[in-house]
Amino acid sequence: MSVGKRLLWSGLGWAFGGPIGAIIGYSIAGMFDSQNQYTSGHRSGQRPTQTRGGDFMVSVLVLLGSVMKADKQLLKAELNYVKQFLQKQFSPRDVQDFMTLFKDILKQDYPLRDVCRQIQRSMDHPSRLELIHILFGLSQADGHIHPDEIKIIHTIARYLNVSQNDFVSIKAMFVKDTNTDYKILEIESGATDSEIKKAYRHMASKYHPDKVTHLGEEFRVFAEEKFKSVNEAYQNIKKERAIL
């Protein structure tokens, strides 16, 4: 397929699906070029098989790519994280297609603000919190969270309209310090016992796994990790203060 035709597919993507649609259009055009055929889904007027899982998964790949490139390194451990993440949700064929799409995404520079704005408009708050958690999981895949990775995740969080408190809470689950437990509960270390109990109930509700069941089983697993972190933080503070 010529570059012109690829740009045409990309243009159609922008028209019908915003920046995420453009990513789908341009990358799938390349897939069609190498395969020299259309999927049955495309012929019937539906999305090609490469887009199963919806724009949510494509947006995850775009943001994962941005974090991977933040420290100017593309590490095998990070690629394995992405692949394993996909393997838990899709068939081997779909995983192969998504990895092809992801490798193409890594070669491009996309308007991160525009992509995030599209995500923000189409995803609920619990889903956006899940994205931030997944991005920190990727940054930790090589055993070290680079400051530039934290910076880009913070930028993404702002574009997604994720509050500073929510960002700090999720970051504290990966980057530990003396106030980690309080940060996870989004309170100050000088909070009263009553405020701590109230904060725990609020965070347990915010991060409850049931709020992201619509995203699939693997996302529920990530949500359960956050929920567990909230419980552990609360138990640590209770023990420290001898709260009954």
Q: What is the pLDDT of residues 125-160, one digit of tens each?
A: 888 998 999 999 999 998 889 999 999 999 999 999
For the chain, percent of residues with pLDDT exceeding 70: 75
Confidence of residue 86 (pLDDT cuts 50, 70, 90): confident
- Mean pLDDT across 111-118: 85
Summarised one tens digit per residue, pLDDT across range 152-175 is 999 999 999 999 999 999 999 999
**pLDDT score, position 203:** 93
Among 70-79, 185-194, 224-233, whose mean pLDDT is lowest? 70-79
| pTM greater than 0.85 (yes/no) | no
| DSSP class per residue in the chain | --HHHHHHHHHHHHHHHHHHHHHHHHHHHHHHHHHTS--HHHHTTSPPGGGTTHHHHHHHHHHHHHHHHHTT---HHHHHHHHHHHHTTS-HHHHHHHHHHHHHHHHS---HHHHHHHHHHHS-HHHHHHHHHHHHHHHTTTS---HHHHHHHHHHHHHTT--HHHHHHHHHTTS--TTHHHHHTT--TT--HHHHHHHHHHHHHHT-GGGGGGG-HHHHHHHHHHHHHHHHHHHHHHHHHT--
Confidence of residue 118 (pLDDT cuts 50, 70, 90): confident
Summarised one tens digit per residue, pLDDT across range 21-51 is 665 555 555 544 444 443 334 433 443 333 3
Model confidence at 3: pLDDT above 60: no
Query: Which residue ranges make up each domain of the chain?
Result: 1-51, 52-241
Model confidence at 184: pLDDT above 90: yes
